[in-house]
Amino acid sequence: MAARKKIRQDEGTRAKIQATLIINRLQRAFQGKLELTDGQIRIGLGLLRKTLPDLQSMAVTSPDGSDLAVKHTVTIEYVKPK
């Protein structure tokens, strides 16, 4: 029988796995599928800040350097309560 190779994960891979586990747990709590205390949520959010990079704002311009116009369409539909 052939020997199995051990696959080693680098730190980046381990951090992504840990971040995914934290995100999944928080999502289950926000969806009402899991009960977490305020402290557990605060700790989870703190751990995410340590594992995921903060988002930075960036300017988006057209190829000629001018500002881009963004158009939003909002549709509101009234649903009569039963």
Q: Which residues contact 68 (CB under 8 A, 6 or more apart)?
A: 60, 61, 62
Q: Which sequence spans correspond to the domains of the chain? A: 12-51
Across the range 25-35, mean pLDDT stands at 93
Q: Which pLDDT tens digit goes with each residue over 38-73?
A: 999 999 888 888 877 777 777 777 888 888 877 889
Cβ contact 61:67 at 8 Å: yes
Residue 58's φ and ψ, nearest 5 degrees, are -145, 150
- List helix spans (H) across 31-71: 38-51
Mean pLDDT of the chain: 82
- For tokens 């959010």, the residue is 45
Which pLDDT value is given to residue 79? 84
Which pLDDT value is given to residue 27? 94
Report DSSP state, residue 67.
Answer: B
Q: What is the pTM of this model?
A: 0.50
